[in-house]
Amino acid sequence: MKTLIYIPIIHSGADMGSMAAELTRKGVDEFGREFWETHVDTVNKYWELISQCCDTIDLGDKAVKIYQDGMVADGEIAMKIIEDSIKAGSKNYEIISRLVKRGAIIVQTEDISMVKKEMEMLKSIPSSGALIVKLISIFRFKISRSKLLNQRDEYIAGRIAATLGPNETGIIFLGAYHNISDKLPKDIIVNELKEIHKVREYQKLLPFHVRKKQRFEELSQYLMKNVVAEGLI
């Protein structure tokens, strides 16, 4: 039996590198400082609970492999990426670092050319200028990104299928907009640490939190609800 623990990612500012400051500025401008800070607190609490849960996962004597959104290397290069991300404040990579210290193995998860392409597409969206130009750029980005995201998912699923052996456990940290479950071999059992569709819905409702206040608050509470490791492996 092969088991894959799926941990949906909600990216924090620390995960956005050089774009973090711009993300914060846009968030405050569009949603107001009070709401944006509440959202940031929700994300921080989410990662705190994920961290606590991962620390209690009983790795036993099984081979445990770590797959990470955007991870284009393994070995020493992967460890350097992890170290640099921790220095930048990434809770996601702090968790991975502790898992690796307990014996888990980091696996090259993505194709570097695809990841670079998405970053270039994201950076191409103008932060200022005529509104119509910005809207056209965003529209083109969404269409292109959807196709690229599917290609990335195919690649990620292929990497898991090729590297996760019998009686091994994988732990994948992946953005909620990804969809790899239906691309994986049938002999891999997927256990969601948090329900992917709810994490995805929270992020989709972020711009509409005023109109969908009750549902958004329900999802916020779900993200901050405790999770347990029992039965995952």
Q: Pairing state of beta strands 169-175 and 64-68?
A: parallel
- From the number of C-beta atoms within 10 Å of its C-beta (0-12, 13-18, 19+), residue 15 rates as buried
> How crowded is the C-beta side of 42, counted as CA atoms within 13 Å?
20
> Which stretch of 1-5, 137-141, 195-199 has the lowest confidence by average pLDDT?
137-141
Q: In this predicted structure, what is the pLDDT of residue 23?
A: 62
Q: Is the predicted pLDDT of residue 16 greater than 70, yes or no?
A: no
125, 138 Cβ separation under 8 angstroms: yes
pLDDT band, very low/low/confident/very high, at 17 (cuts 50, 70, 90):
low
Give the start-to-end residue ranges of the domains of the chain: 2-223
**Residue 179: both structure tokens together:** 């969809």
pLDDT averaged over every residue in the chain: 86
148, 117 Cβ separation under 8 angstroms: yes
Q: Is the predicted pLDDT of residue 9 greater than 80, yes or no?
A: yes
Q: In this predicted structure, what is the pLDDT of residue 61?
A: 80
The phi, psi pair for 127, rounded to 5°, reads -90, -10
> Which stretch of 2-6, 41-45, 117-121, 203-207 has the lowest confidence by average pLDDT?
117-121
Share of the chain above pLDDT 70, in %: 81
pLDDT tens for 134-143 read 444 444 555 5
Q: In this predicted structure, what is the pLDDT of residue 54?
A: 95
- From the number of C-beta atoms within 10 Å of its C-beta (0-12, 13-18, 19+), residue 206 rates as middle
- From the number of C-beta atoms within 10 Å of its C-beta (0-12, 13-18, 19+), residue 156 rates as buried
- C-alpha–C-alpha distance, residues 219 and 202, integer Å: 6
Q: Is the predicted pLDDT of residue 34 greater than 80, yes or no?
A: yes
169, 233 Cβ separation under 8 angstroms: yes
Q: In this predicted structure, what is the pLDDT of residue 81?
A: 95
Q: In this predicted structure, what is the pLDDT of residue 218?
A: 96
Q: What is the pTM of this model?
A: 0.86
Q: In this predicted structure, what is the pLDDT of residue 225?
A: 94
- CA 102 to chain CA centroid, nearest Å: 22
